[in-house]
A and B are shown apart, each in its own frame.
Chain A
Amino acid sequence: MTGRRSFLKTTALAALAAAGLPALGASAAPAPLPVRRFGEAFVVNGWILTARDLEALRLHDT
């Protein structure tokens, strides 16, 4: 599980950094990232994610 948590954190940081947003846990509240749905896949800032990824990254299907 450590590897998976590390991976998800990496993914989240990469997604936020690419969007020019502060990292998770930073003082400023991040603006919500647009989530596009394609069937069972969710695309956030270009990353193809699962519903479990959204939950782990605290992102929401908009």
Chain B
Amino acid sequence: MILDAGTAERSAFAEPFDVCIIGAGPAGITLARRLASAGAGVALMEGGDLDFSNDSQDLYTGRISGLDYFPLDAVRLRYLGGSSNHWAGACRELDAHDFEPRPHHPWSGWPIGKEDLDPYQGEVARILRLDGGNFPDPPLRRDSDDFRRILYRDSRPPLRFGEAFHDEIAASDAIRLALNANLVDLRLDDTLGTVTEARFRSLEADDPGFAVRARAYVLCAGGLENPRILLNARSQIPAGIGNQHDLVGRFFCEHPYMRVGEVVFEERFFATEYHAPTPDFLDAYEVLDFNLQLLADRPRTRQPLSLPKEVAREAVCVAPFTERLAQRVVGNTLSCADDLGLRAYFERREMPEDFSGFAAIQFEQALDPSNRVRLAAERDALGLQRIVLDWRLDDLDRRTMRTAVLHFGMLLADQGIGRVRVTDWILEDDFQAGNAAGDLSGSYHHMCTTRMSDDPRRGVVDRDCRVHGTSNLYAGGSSVFATAGHATPTFTILQLALRLGDHLDETLLG
């Protein structure tokens, strides 16, 4: 059932629910569907509407401190489906070593391991419409102790969770989805350890708001908004909920993305290749995890063409309609796209650009408590404080980048792939210059701001994603990542959502 919380329909939320989920993006929708399948009554509260609106999106405006970063109201989307609405679709799971504590990476280590998320691999692959559930990586051309080739799998077209599951949710008796329901407070009982209600209101100025009561509450609002919600929930605890050790919002991690430089290939190169270090390499050089991308100058779709096939295509595509129709009817379909055919075949044979391309690196950012989401003095239309994002890179990030690039350059030579020319600022360790030149950016990935640890002095949520110091408040999404790894986060976000669903199923319903 889908209702508009800005109208009288909010009365549908008067009865208590099993679980109240705040945020209807990939994590929130996945969790709601998992709980609904177990028979739970779910209130799924979305701050935005079915589509983008400037008024809703403005609530995401904030300030940046440190390195240049994208505008905070552009790196995420505030309507049904959340940031899946601009997701590119690349999927990869974290590696086993990403969960391990590493002596050279302070604060690292998850309280769970890859084996705890593996059971959800197949289901996540089905949700994201990937083929199969595992990630078979292709071999290197020649063996290497330092690097391996890795594969990203694409959700194609990228799954827009709002569109994909709208009809299912609308028809569901178990899920009540509220649109335009903006969370403004979480109220606690007298012990200050149990959430008793979540308060919402629309953007109408005189709206008194309404409460939703549930046995458990889950924040699924994203890596910037989850900490903002906790820090703004100060009506009973001045420092905010879950912030007893001043950790909420700290350890913000991105996946820094940098264009390394141009590449000259030894042989014609059409595709995109990804390489990553081996665990032994990470330990030996005491660096963070990363991946290096090798891209041809031309789009990856410009594959080499077959002469016989293009001759056949020419014949089919100039034929009268009935013959072309006949070809389709009998199943011998050849696309008559403008960029195919004999002309394309001969043009591509002569493409000198096939020998050039560029390399890019995307790496795990070092955990640093001074990289953080904190409250700004400015307030939004709901009266809640906006955020300031402090984002910088440190010495471990620099060492990782330089080590990765130099060894990758040698790998390309050793593998007979080509040579890379690196940008000056990389060898000079000058992030500011790279940032100013536009070579260094983030990846729209916001992680670790309510990171997972069994120790309340090292993390905000425990291994079950429950906020330390509370009995029934949880967080979902990439804010609970304990470290960022180098892989795109969506696959892991969904694995964690399904795992949290199992936990709530067992503890609330079982």
Q: Residues of A at under 8 Å CB distance from B? A: 3-4, 7, 10-11, 14, 36, 38-41, 43, 45-50, 53
Contacts and interface: CB of A to CB of B under 8 A. Distances in A.
Given A3-B266, A10-B264, A14-B264, A47 B420 contact: yes
Nearest to B422: A46
Instruction: Select the residue from A11, A39, A40, A47 with max chain B CB neighbours within 10 A.
Output: A47
A41 B264 contact: no
B245 interface: no
B409 interface: yes
Contacts of A36: 427
Contacts of A10: 264, 355
6 contacts: A4-B266, A41-B409, A41-B410, A48-B420, A48-B421, A48-B422
Interface range on chain B: under 10, 10 to 19, 20 to 34, or 35 or more?
20 to 34
Interface string B403-431: 00111011011100011111110010000
Given A43-B427, A48-B422, A53-B419, A7 B264 contact: yes
Contacts of B405: 48
Interface of B: 261, 264, 266-267, 355, 405-407, 409-410, 412-414, 418-424, 427
Interface centre among B410, B414, B421, B427 (most CB of A within 10 A): B421
Contact of B413 (A14, A38, A50): A50
A7 to B, nearest CB: 5
Given A4-B266, A10-B264, A46 B409 contact: no
Contact of B422 (A3, A7, A43): A43
A39 B261 contact: no
A49 B420 CA distance: 8
A49 B413 contact: yes
B413 to A, nearest CB: 5
Contact of B406 (A3, A11, A41): A41
Nearest to A48: B409
Contacts of B413: 48-50, 53
Given A11-B419, A49-B413, A53-B413, 7 more contacts: A7-B418, A38-B406, A39-B406, A41-B410, A48-B412, A48-B421, A49-B419
**Residue among A10, A43, A45, A46 with the highest chain B CB neighbour number at 10 A:** A46
Given A41-B409, A48-B410, A50-B413, A11 B264 contact: yes
A61 B53 CA distance: 60
A3 B268 CA distance: 10
Given A38-B406, A39-B406, A40-B410, A47 B266 contact: no
Nearest to B267: A3
Contacts of A48: 405-406, 409-410, 412-413, 419-422
A40 B410 CA distance: 8
Contacts of A50: 410, 413-414
Nearest to A6: B266
A11 to B, nearest CB: 6
A40 B150 CA distance: 25
B423 to A, nearest CB: 7
Nearest to A52: B413
A47 B422 CA distance: 6
Q: Could you say which of A3, A7, A11, A53 has the most chain B C-beta atoms within 10 Å of its C-beta?
A: A7
Nearest to B420: A48
Contacts of A11: 264, 419
Given A3-B266, A4-B266, A46 B421 contact: yes
